[in-house]
Amino acid sequence: MYTQALNTAETEDRGLEDAAKAAEFQARIDAEERIEPNDWMPAAYRKTLTRQISQHAHSEIVGMLPEGNWITRAPTLRRKAALLAKVQDECGHGLYLYAAAETLGASREELVDAMLAGKAKYSSIFNYPTLTWADIGTIGWLVDGAAIMNQIPLCRCSYGPYARAMIRVCKEESFHQRQGYEIMLTLCRGSDEQKAMAQDALNRWWWPVLMMFGPPDVASQHSDTSTRWKIKRFSNDELRQKFVDATVPQAQYLGLTIPDPGMTQDADGHWRYSEIDWTEFKQVLAGNGPCNRDRMAARRKAHEEGAWVREAAAAYAAKRARRQTAQAAE
Amino acid sequence: MAVANIQVSETPLVLYALRRADDALILGHRLSEWCGHAPMLEEDMALSNIALDLIGQARELYAFAAKAERRDNDEDKLAYLRDVRQYRNLLLVEQPNGDFAQTLVRQFFYSAFADLCWRAMMSSRYTTLAAIAAKSEKESAYHLRHASEWIIRLGDGTDESHRRAQAAIDHLWAFTGEMFSVDDGERALIQAGIAVDPETLRGRWLQTISDVVSEATLVLPQNNWMQQGGRTGRHSEHLGHLLSELQSMQRTFPGLTW
């Protein structure tokens, strides 16, 4: 296991953080140096990153479900292969991210257990259902588009393993985003029924996608310290605005209407969107989204039904190690 | 809205390609059903990867079949607009995933055969088939290694995994005989140096299966009655459900571009 060779947070757990180390740490951050797993770091920095990276990993894994819902029904073999490859990429992202979180001293098992117990969060967006094929296009275009907006700055995150994981993840996400947009373009150039399908999907996903950037800056709990530690480089509202500005022309090109009649373009060219329904966001985070229960049930089922397989693999590995030791002793 | 099934001119060559293509597509589809639900993330990755290889093989073989057929069929028409009775895959590959042991035993039986078959087909007189075989053999060698390792782990793991692996072998064994069946049309292709004679592979297949099963502390069933029918479109009840899902978009929205 990657974490075995790494220093753990024992000294910090004993509450012995000294001010000189903290100042030196902040100086390194300010100088844009990368913090690596064996470097000293404040306990709160470790905790914040473990939370953020593991939430990100959980999101990738839960995020396989809504899109996975269409793998067996993709309309052509080319689309089927592309979607399967895409969902597999998300799984790969989950794996890198759990590995990045492990460099902070947490094990994948404990992080996954926390998610399955409902103690760790994942992105609210995956609690919405994929009802038609157009949802697959819309997720690629908008959900991956929003994820890229969030993750590009994370490529410069102060924590080295997370930043490096993000570089690879972003490359794949940008491919997914183009693929999603191409699905939308095909639908919008297709029959009236296909175009209506595309518009319906946009109508359902638009607001939940804007919520992906998190609560408005005035209400965000974690932003201040995360910004000081250069984990976060832009505020939620800044990223949301960048996303909206990038997306409006894309929707126009598709000939689709963004479901916000109050949207206007200001003198600086920014598209100003209407008030977001934060009650819905809070309800989804609280477990009351349309698919929260289904998503958790699916993950728990896979985990529980896979237990005997993981036990078998561990039992066999132990037997084999014993045999090898016995052979070596002969 | 119902969409008519396509007509396929099943010359021996077209049929030969379709049978292999349908094997790959149906098994790939089955494996893709695991995506997001596997016992561990590594297996989500692995099973999806194998599914992708198989769907890729199916696409090349459908393209080959469509070209050999010289009608206006293409890979999507062949995959999405044939009904159960027109599908030519082995009964083995359409069997439901069941538990992880059943999925892996199914894969093991198939990959051990496919790997030998592709390797032999690399010397087909048809260069396109030989080229498809060369690419597919590299993939199937990995699939076989992956499945073999799991059979050993499951058989020689815990009591529960041993029991499940043995049950899967007992259940699926009767679907393996069909891999070696050959009809007259295929016999002519074999004689012309185009197709592979599966009978020449049987000994090595059985050796691979026996070696792995024995290392896994499992046993092969004594009952050697073999089910047949997939190659001529007489399938199990499972295939119709798989196809109704696979084909739902093309059947609901006929003639559109996606």
Q: What is the DSSP letter of A229?
A: T
Which residues in chain B have their CB less than 8 angstroms from residue A311's CB? 157-158, 160-161
Contact, A93 vs A171, CB < 8 A?
Answer: no
Q: Look up residue B36 and give its two tokens.
A: 């997001």
Confidence label for A53 from pLDDT (cuts 50, 70 and 90): very high
**Interior angle at CA A311, CA A57 and CA B38, nearest 5:** 45
**Over the stretch B131-186, which tens digit does the pLDDT of each residue have?**
999 999 999 999 999 999 999 999 999 999 999 999 999 999 999 999 999 999 99
pLDDT at A10: 47
CA nearest neighbour of B111 among B85, B87, B90: B90
Taking the C-alpha atoms of residue B256 and residue B234, their distance in angstroms, rounded to an integer, is 30
| CB within 8 Å: A64 and B56 | no
Which residues in chain A have their CB less than 8 angstroms from residue B98's CB? none
Contact, B161 vs B151, CB < 8 A?
Answer: no
Which residues in chain B have their CB less than 8 angstroms from residue A315's CB? 157-158, 161
DSSP H helical ranges for chain A: 10-13, 19-30, 43-62, 64-68, 77-102, 108-116, 133-138, 144-151, 160-188, 192-211, 223-228, 236-254, 278-283, 292-305, 307-329
pLDDT at A4: 38
Contact, A93 vs A53, CB < 8 A?
Answer: no
Taking the C-alpha atoms of residue A206 and residue A221, their distance in angstroms, rounded to an integer, is 24
Closest Cα in chain B to A92: B45
Residue A304, min C-alpha distance to chain B (Å): 8
Q: Which one of B218, B246, B257 would you mutate to disrupt binding with A, by most A Cβ within 10 Å of its Cβ?
A: B257
**Over the stretch A241-284, which tens digit does the pLDDT of each residue have?**
999 999 999 999 999 999 999 999 999 999 999 999 999 999 99
Residue A166, min C-alpha distance to chain B (Å): 19
Residue B241, min C-alpha distance to chain A (Å): 11
Which residues in chain B have their CB less than 8 angstroms from residue A183's CB? 258
Confidence label for A330 from pLDDT (cuts 50, 70 and 90): confident
ipTM over 0.95: yes
Let me know if domain B12-219+227-252 sits in CATH 1.20.1260.10. Answer: yes
Has residue A12 got a pLDDT over 60?
A: no
Beta bridge mates, A264: A272
CA nearest neighbour of B238 among B66, B53, B35, B102: B102
Which residues in chain A have their CB less than 8 angstroms from residue B257's CB? 186, 190
Has residue A6 got a pLDDT over 50?
A: no
Taking the C-alpha atoms of residue A209 and residue A203, their distance in angstroms, rounded to an integer, is 11
Has residue B50 got a pLDDT over 50?
A: yes
pLDDT at A223: 65
Which residues in chain B have their CB less than 8 angstroms from residue A85's CB? 48, 52
Nearest to A76 among B29, B38, B76 (CB): B76
Express as a percent the part of chain B with pLDDT over 90. 98
Q: In angstroms, how far is CA A123 from the centroid of its own chain?
A: 6
Q: Look up residue A120 and give its two tokens.
A: 């760790």
pLDDT at A329: 87
| CB within 8 Å: B48 and A88 | yes
Q: What is the dihedral of CA A288, A294, A295, A298, to 10 degrees?
A: 150
| CB within 8 Å: A75 and B45 | no
| CB within 8 Å: A79 and B258 | yes
Greatest C-alpha distance within chain B: 54
Q: Which one of A84, A89, A108, A115 would you mutate to disrupt binding with B, by most B Cβ within 10 Å of its Cβ?
A: A84
Q: Look up residue B179 and give its two tokens.
A: 């891999």
The overall average pLDDT reported for chain A is: 93
The overall average pLDDT reported for chain B is: 97
pLDDT at B32: 98
Greatest C-alpha distance within chain A: 83
Closest Cα in chain A to B251: A75
**Over the stretch B9-35, which tens digit does the pLDDT of each residue have?**
999 999 999 999 999 999 999 999 999
Nearest to B256 among A88, A190, A316 (CB): A190
Confidence label for A2 from pLDDT (cuts 50, 70 and 90): very low
| CB within 8 Å: A133 and B55 | no
| CB within 8 Å: B249 and A311 | no
The long-range contacts involving B61-68, CB below 8 angstroms and separated by at least 24 positions, are: B61/B17, B61/B18, B61/B20, B61/B21, B61/B24, B61/B132, B62/A77, B62/B17, B62/B18, B62/B21, B62/B25, B64/B17, B64/B21, B64/B128, B64/B129, B64/B132, B65/B14, B65/B17, B65/B18, B65/B21, B68/B11, B68/B13, B68/B14, B68/B17
What mean pLDDT do residues A214-223 have? 80
Confidence label for B3 from pLDDT (cuts 50, 70 and 90): confident
Taking the C-alpha atoms of residue B61 and residue B22, their distance in angstroms, rounded to an integer, is 9
Which residues in chain A have their CB less than 8 angstroms from residue B152's CB? 316
Between chain A and chain B, how many beta carbons pairs sit less than 8 Å apart?
138
DSSP H helical ranges for chain B: 12-32, 41-69, 75-80, 91-94, 100-121, 127-155, 159-172, 184-191, 202-215, 238-246, 248-252
Beta bridge mates, A272: A264
Q: How many CA atoms does the CB half-sphere of A103 hold within 13 Å?
A: 21
| CB within 8 Å: B100 and A71 | no
Q: How many CA atoms does the CB half-sphere of A177 hold within 13 Å?
A: 18
Residue B81, min C-alpha distance to chain A (Å): 11
| CB within 8 Å: A91 and B48 | yes
| CB within 8 Å: A84 and B51 | yes
Taking the C-alpha atoms of residue A219 and residue A186, their distance in angstroms, rounded to an integer, is 39
Has residue A122 got a pLDDT over 80?
A: yes
Contact, A192 vs A245, CB < 8 A?
Answer: no
**Over the stretch B174-221, which tens digit does the pLDDT of each residue have?**
999 999 999 999 999 999 999 999 999 999 999 999 999 999 999 999
**Interior angle at CA A211, CA A208 and CA A214, nearest 5:** 155
Nearest to B35 among A84, A193, A308 (CB): A84
Confidence label for B2 from pLDDT (cuts 50, 70 and 90): low
What mean pLDDT do residues B47-56 have? 98
| CB within 8 Å: A72 and B33 | yes
Has residue A14 got a pLDDT over 70?
A: no
Which residues in chain B have their CB less than 8 angstroms from residue A61's CB? 41
Which residues in chain B have their CB less than 8 angstroms from residue A68's CB? 35-37
| CB within 8 Å: A77 and B58 | yes
| CB within 8 Å: B37 and A191 | no
Question: Can you tell me whether residue B205 is helix, strand or coil?
Answer: helix
Q: Which one of B43, B218, B258 would you mutate to disrupt binding with A, by most A Cβ within 10 Å of its Cβ?
A: B258
Taking the C-alpha atoms of residue B170 and residue B149, their distance in angstroms, rounded to an integer, is 19
Q: Which one of B27, B48, B218 would you mutate to disrupt binding with A, by most A Cβ within 10 Å of its Cβ?
A: B48
Nearest to B39 among A64, A75, A309 (CB): A309
Beta bridge mates, A159: A35
